[in-house]
Chains A and B, each alone.
Chain A
Amino acid sequence: MAVADPYLEMHTGPARGYPVFHVVDRGESVEIIKQRTDWFLVRDAGGDEGWVDQAQMELTLNPDGSEVDFQRADLADFTNSKWEIGALAGDFGGANIVSLYGAYSLNPHVSIEAWGSQILGNFSNGWMASANVVHETWPDWRVSPFFTLGAGYIRTEPKSTIIQGEDRNDQVGHAGAGFRVYVTRRFLFRAEYKTYVVFTSRNDNEEVEEWKVGFAFFF
Chain B
Amino acid sequence: MESRFRVLFLILAAQFVLSGCAATKNLFGFGRDEAPPPTAEPPGQVIDPEVERREIKEPKIDKENFEIGAFAGIMSIEDFGTDLAYGARLAYHLTEGFFVEGTVGQSEAGLTSFEALSGGARLFDDRMLTYYNLNLGYNILPGEGFIGEKRAYNTQFYLIAGLGSTEFADDDRFTVNFGAGLRLLLNDAWTLRFDFRDHLYDIDVLGEEKTVHNLEGTLGFTFFF
Contact = CB atoms under 8 A, between A and B. Distances in A.
A159 B134 contact: no
B65 A125 contact: no
Contact of B188 (A17, A19, A41, A120): A41
Given A19-B144, A64-B54, A120-B174, A185 B94 contact: yes
A37 B95 contact: yes
B114 to A, nearest CB: 16
Contacts of B173: 120
B126 to A, nearest CB: 10
Interface of B: 53-54, 56, 58-59, 61-65, 92-96, 100, 134, 136, 139, 141-144, 154, 156, 163-165, 169-174, 185, 188, 202, 204-205, 224
B96 A15 contact: yes
A35 B64 contact: yes
Interface residues of A, number: 44
Interface in A164-210: 184-187
A213 B152 CA distance: 42
A15 B174 contact: no
A18 B143 CA distance: 6
A103 B54 CA distance: 41
Interface in A31-88: 32-41, 49, 62-64, 68, 70, 87
8 contacts: A17-B142, A18-B144, A34-B64, A36-B93, A37-B93, A39-B96, A120-B165, A160-B170
Given A34-B64, A36-B224, A87-B134, A187 B142 contact: no
Contact of A118 (B54, B63, B142, B172): B172
B144 A38 contact: no
A163 B136 CA distance: 35
Interface of A: 12-19, 32-41, 49, 62-64, 68, 70, 87, 89, 95-96, 98, 100, 118, 120, 122, 125, 159-162, 184-187, 215, 217
A13 B134 contact: no
Given A14-B96, A87-B134, 5 more contacts: A63-B56, A98-B163, A98-B174, A161-B205, A184-B95
A171 to B, nearest CB: 22
A159 B172 CA distance: 9
A35 B100 contact: no
Contacts of B156: 13, 15
Contacts of A215: 100, 136
A21 B202 CA distance: 50
Contacts of B54: 63-64
Given A12-B154, A16-B142, A96 B93 contact: no
Contact of B63 (A13, A34, A98): A34
Nearest to B139: A15
Contacts of B141: 17
Contacts of A118: 165, 172
Contacts of A18: 142, 144, 154
